[in-house]
């Protein structure tokens, strides 16, 4: 999400260093560390740590991404003379009721760039009037293609057949996926990229009745024509894999873990299927409203929707065009933020 903004800021502040921090391994372990001068875990929010931290880095600009609000970090950044911005937030009233001290911290931020009008109204009621609706930074992202070796492997597996990519799947998604693949007689290829890479991918392989292969095994197999399902057991490929799909299923919405990124298949102009729990996700609601995505509630919905899209080339093309148009129309958040930051 922050990558397009960072790349543009780097052109303007080319004599500055760029530091990125995380509070959880899911971010720290998966980020491309080559994009930043320093990547760290955010130190615990103690007075001693904050004094030492800001004494070391003395930032010119501090950006808090999405709904991250750290009151003491904001306080000490301001004490050090740093401009402080909140970028890409999607706020609800309940968010501020749960955590003490957020309202006062919000009022100290120099400018708050939010993704929608509702967030703007909420922040303005708290007392910060410098709120700009910029949209979602994720639309400005460029998703890289697979490298030459990966591209050859995926192309060899698909072998010019229709392919469904199931991305960021959880158990609730996989119950439907396994049942569909095992029961259908359609001549399709399937790529499953589980959200969590652990023993799950090995279990998936056992549960699938059709011939399946792990990505880590595929390079040693010369003839892939009999293999119907490829299970991705590594991290970092999924967003690029949507390019190779005829239909993209985005996981998380069948359970309560949270729907994953529907913008990635939209970037590649693909029809999208998601689970039933999507109401908190603006982009999913927009894509469904426009007709580029379909939500399913159960296995019958899931089966009918896949077959409906797969059997209707015109529907598939139309959904693809709708999603690409939606993606392009929502670009531009980076420029809005840059214009404000660089003019201060």
pLDDT of residue 344: 66
Domains of the chain (ranges; CATH) run 3-135 (3.40.50.11720), 148-329 (3.40.50.2000)
Nearest to 141 by CA among 283, 14, 317: 283
DSSP labels, 294-315: EE--SHHHHHHHHHHHHH-HHH
Structure tokens belonging to residue 93: 């009233």
Q: Helix crossing, 71-79 with 47-57: angle to 10°? A: 40
Q: Which residues of the chain have pLDDT under 50?
A: none
d(CA 341, CA 344): 6
Structure tokens belonging to residue 309: 């899209």
β-pair partners for 86: 64, 112
d(CA 166, CA 75): 43
Give the three-state DSSP class for 150.
helix
Q: Looking at 15-168, list the stretches that DSSP marks H as alpha helix, in order from N- to C-terminal side.
A: 25-28, 47-57, 71-79, 93-98, 102-108, 117-126, 148-158
Specify the length of the chain in residues. Answer: 344
Nearest to 87 by CA among 42, 118, 133, 44: 133
d(CA 168, CA 242): 11
pLDDT of residue 203: 87
Q: How far apart are the first and last CA of the chain?
A: 23
d(CA 157, CA 302): 24
């Amino acid at each position: 999400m922050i990558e397009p903004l960072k790349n543009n800021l780097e052109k303007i502040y080319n004599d500055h260093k760029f530091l990125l921090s995380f509070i959880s391994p899911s971010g720290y372990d998966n980020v491309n560390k080559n994009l930043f001068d320093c990547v760290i875990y955010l130190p615990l929010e103690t007075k001693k740590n904050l004094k030492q931290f800001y004494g070391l880095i003395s930032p010119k600009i501090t950006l808090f991404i999405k709904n991250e609000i750290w009151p003491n970090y904001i306080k000490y950044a301001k004490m050090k003379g740093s401009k402080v911005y909140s970028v890409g937030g999607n706020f609800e009233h309940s968010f501020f009721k749960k955590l003490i001290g957020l309202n006062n911290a919000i009022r100290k931020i120099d400018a708050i760039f939010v993704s929608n009008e509702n967030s703007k109204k909420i922040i303005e009621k708290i007392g910060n009037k410098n709120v700009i609706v910029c949209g979602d930074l994720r639309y400005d992202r460029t998703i890289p293609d697979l490298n030459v070796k990966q591209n050859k492997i995926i192309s060899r597996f698909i072998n010019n057949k229709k392919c469904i990519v199931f991305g960021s799947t959880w158990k609730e998604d996989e119950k439907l996926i396994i049942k569909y693949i095992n029961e259908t007689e359609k001549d399709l290829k399937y790529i499953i990229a589980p959200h969590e890479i652990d023993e799950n991918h090995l279990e998936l392989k056992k549960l699938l009745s059709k011939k399946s292969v792990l990505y880590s095994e595929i390079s040693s197999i010369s003839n892939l024509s009999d293999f119907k399902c490829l299970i991705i057991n590594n991290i970092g490929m999924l967003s690029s894999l949507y390019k190779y799909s005829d239909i993209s299923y985005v996981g998380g919405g069948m359970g309560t873990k949270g729907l994953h990124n529907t913008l990635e298949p939209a970037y590649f102009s693909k029809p999208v299927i998601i689970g039933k729990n999507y109401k908190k996700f603006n982009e999913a609601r927009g894509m469904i409203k426009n007709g580029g995505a379909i939500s399913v509630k159960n296995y019958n919905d899931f089966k009918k929707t896949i077959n409906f899209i797969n059997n209707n080339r015109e529907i598939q093309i139309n959904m693809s065009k709708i999603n690409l148009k939606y993606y392009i129309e929502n670009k531009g958040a980076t420029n809005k933020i840059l214009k404000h930051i660089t003019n201060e």
